[in-house]
A and B are shown apart, each in its own frame.
Chain A
């Protein structure tokens, strides 16, 4: 049922996009062809698609971890940026051989995202501040923080542009395919998917998160603290987003860090998770689709002149359809269950609370 819905969502969104293609005067076959070619047609293009999959997968997984515990936030862009910020310190102020430098940067990047998420987490746990609001605002702060960071303390004096000095090779991900954007950070995809799936399905933390996400009162009665579990979930979520940040910074086209090296992935990643219906495994094909959309649309603009914002349009449509289908499914299930529920109704005995 879930799979069918997701497929339907994709088909509908693409279908509507086709309308726009036709309206723009581009023959649909040519448009589709250019798009597919742009995403998968050559080594260079395929590399582009795969490398975009990395941050999308990580952010989607970050969303899923928080969602399992019932915590919904949109702080991924900020956590990506702060992750990158932390990495820039390790990259430029510490030196060492690659097998130390890179792992250290990864850890520190994760820590950056985790710390930034912890701010929102503590505000929620201690003061009940809504995490969507706090993380949204923290995103804005992070953007300004980075803007200042690459212009002042970590600015490359040799350039008027807002960039840090180039990061040394020792800290960057080695290239997987020469002369392309594909780096070894793609191994993070299977690693992270397995790690997150395992954590959520097999560990005590995963169980507690599931219980908290399902019924807070029940969790308290079971001796599980929603605050502790929720905070842990948010922090883990931030850590994954931080790792996405390290990928963007250490496996990007430019060896230096700019003020916004990809925070937009922080929102697209949410859409990836929604299309995957919050399943860690399903994130892979979903991320592939979104990555292909972004990659393909960029190339397509060059070849047939279709605006690359078409990919944004498709993404937006998919998000709307996913949410709509989820809501409709939920309402349908509720109606079906309530008809069945007549026997299990709880009559009077009102609590005067």
Chain B
């Protein structure tokens, strides 16, 4: 079995260690993503990397994979210190990574996709040679993918296996999988675990980035838990359990980032009843039910990718649930896109500022009135003066710092851009405010501003739904919350003095 780029793993040093990280530190403006991380991955083991959003898992693996250079620390492969400067060099070292978003060309077949990654010289490869090599590899590892198949005809699980095949073809000895089960059905996941066991039996090492406790217990040999950029501990999976893992992942003194305002709780404003949504054989939302009353802040915690986006899209009107219903003030609403939701008194501060919250090419005032154009329109003509005046008022009210309302939104800082979104949404005096990761990428002052707005709305009698991947945020600001995992919403819990260990368990998929 010829492979490209000889892995140095078997060569020298401690032959049992495939990868060793010593003191890896990486800082980005405003945040230390990795802080002195020590880690070792042995040959023939599946090593899980567990942590919440923002714990530093992806950054660490990007460093190993050569996409990011660490500020300090050492990467040691096969006993030798290395500095991979990109995926090609990492591949030459025998390190491969399967990302959450696959990098395959749909209308080419498997052979061609693998050939694209080849660095052999000459570049012209004989199809037949490649095909037999790939078939041999696939059989050896039980991949069950026909090399002649067109990628677009393959299921998600099969495509993932093609990605892995690409890595094996290049002789990878250490394979990193980033949240591999995110797009898989349970059956596909079983196939993947079987395959992982075959790989480790051959002496390869696997790093599994995940937040799902079941998976770790299922397939991992050891697990390193990351929290806030630091290694908390490395455990032998055989000697631990989900509860311990959860506690380690999450357990800490909750740093209160803001406080809960005391308001009078009134009637139910938002009611989500048994909403289900399927796509491509996967259940994205599984019987989600939720109630938010006026004057309260309800939170949805959990790691990203567990159905939060889908739930918001359904509530807001951009998606249709397969079953169940959503009402505001007892009435269903449906109209073009988000119009029904907005007309019913709903407001949304979306997860992604740049792609959903604002139109970067447009000015502040255009962004501010975008949802209320009809209010400023008469006989099809927009009263620009009135719209601008309104924008000036909102800018003052929400403290948007810019030379004028004509300034392009793309020139504003993240905090100011978020103020534009808040101004647009909250100035309508909404009945229901959904805040989805409202403080992402903001500095401390801006974050405080957002928290103030949340409490302000609460005191005004609005119903607030806060969806966040930051557990601290949920615990400090909400009155009650539930954890979302795998499209299901867990039990509602009171935020004050919440059992953080239990929360961790729920976030990892336990009960």
Give A contacts to B, CB under 8 Å: 202-208, 210-211, 214-215, 217-225, 228, 337, 342-353
Contact = CB atoms under 8 A, between A and B. Distances in A.
A347 B414 CA distance: 12
B58 A345 contact: no
Contacts of A210: 362, 366
Given A211-B359, A218-B355, A353-B309, A347 B373 contact: no
Nearest to B410: A337
B318 A220 contact: yes
Given A352-B304, A353-B305, 11 more contacts: A205-B380, A217-B355, A217-B356, A223-B335, A342-B29, A344-B417, A346-B440, A348-B59, A349-B469, A351-B351, A352-B179
Interface centre among A221, A337, A349, A353 (most CB of B within 10 A): A221
A247 B413 CA distance: 50
Contact of A346 (B183, B316, B361, B414): B414
B382 A203 contact: yes
B59 to A, nearest CB: 7
Nearest to A205: B380
Given A204-B382, A215-B359, A344 B441 contact: yes
Nearest to B56: A348
B327 to A, nearest CB: 19
A330 B441 CA distance: 25
Given A343-B414, A352-B305, A223 B31 contact: no
Given A220-B338, A350-B100, A353-B309, A343 B413 contact: yes
A225 B382 contact: no
In the A-B complex, list the 7 residue pairs whose CB atoms are closest, starting with the nearest.
A352-B305, A352-B182, A223-B339, A344-B414, A214-B359, A346-B441, A215-B359
Nearest to B54: A348
A344 B384 CA distance: 30
23 contacts: A203-B380, A204-B373, A204-B374, A204-B380, A207-B373, A208-B373, A210-B362, A217-B355, A219-B359, A221-B337, A221-B356, A225-B336, A228-B336, A344-B413, A344-B417, A346-B353, A347-B54, A347-B441, A348-B59, A349-B54, A349-B304, A350-B100, A351-B305
B225 to A, nearest CB: 17
A266 to B, nearest CB: 28
Nearest to A204: B377
A214 B469 CA distance: 29
A228 B53 CA distance: 38
B33 A221 contact: no
A218 B58 CA distance: 28
Contact of A352 (B100, B336, B380, B437): B100
B91 interface: no
A345 B380 contact: no
A14 B101 CA distance: 48
A351 B309 contact: yes
B58 A220 contact: no
B350 interface: yes
Contacts, number: 123
Interface string B363-401: 000100011011001001110100000000000000000
Interface centre among B337, B353, B360 (most CB of A within 10 A): B337
B203 interface: no
Contacts of B465: none
A218 B304 CA distance: 21
A223 B428 CA distance: 15
Contacts of B361: 214-215
Q: Is the interface of A mostly helix, strand, loop or mixed?
A: helix
Contacts of B100: 350, 352
Contacts of A218: 355-359, 370
A219 B337 CA distance: 10
Interface string B286-320: 00000000000000000011000100000010100
Interface in B322-341: 335-339
Given A214-B361, A218-B357, A221-B348, A343 B29 contact: yes
A203 B381 contact: yes
Contacts of B31: 347
A225 B336 CA distance: 7
Contacts of A345: 28-29, 441
B173 interface: no
Interface string B115-126: 000000000000
B511 interface: no
Given A204-B380, A352-B100, A352-B305, A215 B355 contact: yes
Interface string B171-189: 0000000010011000000
Interface in B396-410: 410
B381 A204 contact: yes
Contacts of A202: 381-382, 384
Contacts of B54: 347-349
Contacts of B305: 350-353
Given A207-B382, A347-B28, A349-B304, A223 B469 contact: no
Contacts of A224: 337, 370
Interface in B434-454: 437, 440-441
A351 B304 contact: yes
B29 A223 contact: no
A343 B415 CA distance: 10
Contacts of B417: 344
Nearest to A349: B53
A349 B373 contact: no
Contacts of A347: 28, 31, 33, 54, 440-441
A125 B165 CA distance: 38
Contacts of B353: 346
B342 interface: yes
B354 interface: yes
A70 to B, nearest CB: 11
B65 to A, nearest CB: 15
A222 B33 contact: no
Contact of A348 (B33, B342, B355, B373): B33
Contacts of A211: 359, 362, 366, 370
A219 B360 CA distance: 12
Contact of A214 (B30, B179, B337, B362): B362
B509 to A, nearest CB: 14
Nearest to B339: A223
A353 B352 CA distance: 13
A20 B54 CA distance: 62
B337 A225 contact: yes
A331 to B, nearest CB: 16
Nearest to B372: A222
Contacts of A337: 410
A221 B338 contact: yes
Interface string B27-66: 0111101000000000000000000011000110000000
A222 B369 CA distance: 10
Contacts of B28: 345, 347
B338 A222 contact: yes
B63 to A, nearest CB: 14
